[in-house]
A and B are shown apart, each in its own frame.
Chain A
Amino acid sequence: NAGVMQNPRHLVRRRGQEARLRCSPMKGHSHVYWYRQLPEEGLKFMVYLQKENIIDESGMPKERFSAEFPKEGPSILRIQQVVRGDSAAYFCASSPSTGDSNQPQHFGDGTRLSIL
């Protein structure tokens, strides 16, 4: 059973370009979470999605960042007009849909985004 798959593992962009990060949840999981981690820091919640719906985006910056989880295909975290401060590791996690909060989250290997 494949785990959470994220790609690319490493992404380099120049300031002003767009970054697209992809996440395929574990088989049978319909909940996807995106986190951002700066070096030597903890995980900061960004957004929680279910298929075709954004459930909680309270951690997403109001501008330049967007996320989607379409009916078909992976979840996408999109960062437009990247700036140096966007450099970080972005982790995706998934959990099964059981209707309660008592589910562990399974993490992907992350995408290390570097902005030149």
Chain B
Amino acid sequence: GQQVMQIPQYQHVQEGEDFTTYCNSSTTLSNIQWYKQRPGGHPVFLIQLVKSGEVKKQKRLTFQFGEAKKNSSLHITATQTTDVGTYFCAGSNFGNEKLTFGTGTRLTIIP
């Protein structure tokens, strides 16, 4: 079945440093979504990418979708303590509404 892996599994950064998480799918995706889950909380939708090579920005967050639509990345510039949490990518295949979530990257910030 489809597998979605993320690296790294954990990331500790000093406040103000940048952070990147990478997402790789075993199959070509129709779209990819990113979610953030705070400790003890529930996943919250951040963004969706649909087109090959697409890049979207939300303030300090930059999301990319690979040309082959099999990988994606999330980059946070100048991290803040509010960025703490686990970031999940989630992909779906054409004609299938089921999302396969990645393994997640847990970000902790050192003040």
Q: Say which residue of A40, A43, A103, A106 sits within 8 Å of B88 (CB atoms).
A: A43
B80 within 8 A of A: no
Q: Say which residue of A56, A100, A104, A110 sits within 8 Å of B98 (CB atoms).
A: A56
Give the tally of cross-chain contacts (CB within 8 A): 62
From A44, A91, A103, name the one whose CB has the most chain B CB atoms within 10 angstroms: A103
Residue of A nearest to B94 (CB): A101
By size class, the interface of chain A is 20 to 34
Task: Assess whether A102 is in contact with B102, with CB atoms less than 8 Å apart.
Answer: no
Task: Assess whether B31 is in contact with A102, with CB atoms less than 8 Å apart.
Answer: yes
By a CB distance below 8 angstroms, the chain A residues around B102 are 42
By a CB distance below 8 angstroms, the chain B residues around A25 are none
Distance from B42 Cβ to chain A, minimum over Cβ atoms (Å): 4
By a CB distance below 8 angstroms, the chain B residues around A101 are 30-31, 92-97
Task: Assess whether B48 is in contact with A45, with CB atoms less than 8 Å apart.
Answer: no
Task: Assess whether B45 is in contact with A104, with CB atoms less than 8 Å apart.
Answer: yes
Q: How far is the CA of A66 from the CA of B89 in the complex (A)?
A: 27
Q: Mark B19-52, 1 if CB is under 8 A from A, else 0.
A: 0000000000011010100000111110010100
Residue of A nearest to B4 (CB): A42
Task: Assess whether A45 is in contact with B42, with CB atoms less than 8 Å apart.
Answer: no
Interface residues of A in 5-36 (CB under 8 A from B): 31, 33, 35
Task: Assess whether B98 is in contact with A45, with CB atoms less than 8 Å apart.
Answer: yes
**A residues engaging B (CB < 8 A)?**
31, 33, 35, 40-45, 48, 55-56, 58, 91, 93, 95, 100-110
